[in-house]
Structure 1
Amino acid sequence: MNETEQSQILSEQSDRICTIRINRPGKKNALTKAMYTALSDALLTAAENREVRVIVLAGHAEIFSSGNDMQDFLKHPPVGEDAPVWRFLKALIDNPKPVVAAVNGIAIGVGTTMLLHCDFVIAGDNAVFQMPFVNIGVCPEAGSSMLFPQLLGHRQAAELLMLGERFDGARAVEFGLVNRVVAADETEAVARELALRLVAQPPEALRTTKRLMKQGQGEAIAAIMQLESDAFVAMLAGGEAREAMTAFVEKRRPDFSSFD
């Protein structure tokens, strides 16, 4: 990983909190293979560090993440369980320590679905969420095809996953994806205040409580993520995805009228 790539994921520790920041604002915090690897490493390091009790995931004042960097993603599709994106999701899902997300601005694709695996999500009043997987000819990922119907019921989940519609922080609170919405310039401060409250709690009791809360979901999430991954990789090579990606590059609306 070169110096530029290293600076795209920043990690700092203070007050027993590890803050991991997505730091590629010039590209709307779009995630590359190298960035997923760095995120995985940062999460695993924080999990193993006895001086860290809480993890905070953050982006920038107007951008959390626009999802995958499409050019990089097409060059390095997520094939196999050791693909960087799946390693990142596993490091997040299996992390024993509380994870707090501070979300400002756009959270698209995996920028939204990763939040399903955080313990707390604080959103700024400028936050916008979207899962446009079907729109680009692929299927949902990160267990979202199971977890969103569980959270919202089938019909509201279908609206978000099949139509790929955007939704704001107020709806995200209604859906149970976000704990609360605050002023955008206070998002990280509120997330840190929450993290400090968690730091003050007995650490083993916190870790045990998190483990017990997630215990019943582990195998089901792993199974649905495998199904999603298999379908996602196959669909990336399909005509619908090619049309969507070509239209994106050509800055036009995709035309799916010729597909069965």
Structure 2
Amino acid sequence: MIESRITLVRNDGVLTIGINRPDKRNALDGAMFGALANALRLAQDDPQVHCVLLHGTGPHFCAGHDTAAFGALWPQPADGAIRRCIAAFAEQPKPLVAAVTGAAVGFGATLLLHADWVAAGESTVFRFPFADLGIVPEAGATALLARRVGDLAARDWLLSGRRVTAAEALRHGFVSCVMPDSDVLAASRDYAARLAGKPHGALQSTRRLLLAGSSRSALEAIEDELAHLNVLIPENSTEGPTG
């Protein structure tokens, strides 16, 4: 890991990954996407890691793509950093816990569809601004969001791009629980530690069965989305969106 804005701490079977760019609301540029992909692959390959915990540094979780860097990253090649990062989330065999506060926008919201437990602070606001930006969602959201929150809610959130509060996200099952911001990281660490202490093979098998039980895989949706994004982003923006 050579990207200091993605931090790693391994303790008692949990790999904690921090997005550490608080001055930009933890927005991701190309190097950070690549480092995040590497961190997730490290968790996948390390037999001492049994659960992954993802959090943001400071008051925000992740504001999505860095606007200054976004345009240069598209179209995404087969080995592109964003593609590798999305695939690393989708193919992660080990439980993923997310601690979320503040802004969770664009990719900062869609990546949560690959989490098994999401603790949201009361300040959290989710946004899926893709349609406003002339593009489509990514990270498998067109396959996964409706499964999690229901068809009409998914259509509303993805088409309108409006703000979704933590309370609304909880009502629709997008997050597991809502609590004061100050409690989110500690609660997430406790949950991750409990998962890490369970029989590892059973947890990973359960996750694989859950993924296989759907009629359309997230990986298929991801490939379709990336194909559209490779066309739409160069057409619609030279500087890129915030999400």
TM superposition shift of 1:70: 1.6
CA distance in 2, matches of 1:57, 1:214: 20
Superposition deviation, residue 213 in structure 1: 1.3
Counterpart among 220, 237, 240 of residue 242 in structure 1: 237
Gaps of 5+ in 2: none
The answer to whether structure 1 residue 27 and structure 2 residue 45 are counterparts is: no
> Does residue 220 of structure 1 match 2:223?
no
Q: 1:136 Cα shift?
A: 1.1
8 Å CA contact 1:12, 1:20 repeated in 2 = yes
User: Runs in 1 of length 4+ with deviation above 6 angstroms?
Assistant: none
Unaligned runs of 5+ in 1: 249-260
Partner of 1:65: 62
Residue-by-residue CA offset, 1:185-224 (whole Å, 9 max, x unaligned): 0100000110111122111111111111112349622222
When normalised by structure 1's length, the TM-score is 0.87
Aligned to 2:156: 159
Partner of 1:233: 230
Alpha-carbon distance between aligned partners in 1 of 2:34 and 2:194, rounded to the nearest angstrom: 30
Structure showing greater radius of gyration is 1
Counterpart of 1:242 in structure 2: which amino acid? Answer: S
Query: 1:243 and 1:88 mapped to 2: Cα distance?
Result: 22
> 1:124 touches 1:169 (CA, 8 Å); kept in 2?
yes
Secondary structure of 2:15's aligned partner? strand
Matched, 1:45 2:45: no
1:115 and 2:112 are equivalent in the alignment: yes
* CA 1:199–1:242: 2 relative to 1, 3 Å: closer
Q: Percent identity?
A: 35
The letter for the 1-side match of 2:131 is V
1:172 aligns with 2:172: no
Q: Distance in 2 between matches of 1:210 and 1:149?
A: 18
Separation (CA, whole Å) in 1 of partners of 2:239 and 2:72: 16
CA RMSD in angstroms comes to: 2.0
The aligned residue for residue 183 of structure 1 is 180
* Separation (CA, whole Å) in 1 of partners of 2:147 and 2:14: 31
Pairing 1:87-102 to 2, within 5 Å after superposition: 87-102=84-99
Q: What is the CA distance between 1:81 and its match in structure 2?
A: 2.9
* Structure 2 counterparts to residues 198-209 of structure 1, below 5 A: 198-209=195-206
Which of the pair has the greater relative contact order for Cα pairs under 8 Å at 6+ separation? Answer: 2
Structure 2: how far apart are the matches of 1:214 and 1:147? 10
Instruction: Determine the C-alpha separation between the residues in 2 that align with 1:155 and 1:31.
Output: 29
On the 8 A contact 1:107/1:127 being kept in 2, the answer is yes
Matched, 1:128 2:125: yes
1:251 corresponds in structure 2 to none
Question: How many residues are matched?
Answer: 242
* Counterpart residue type for residue 94 of structure 1: E
Q: Quick one: distance in 1 between partners of 2:58 and 2:166? A: 15
Which one-letter code corresponds to 2:82 in the other structure?
Answer: V
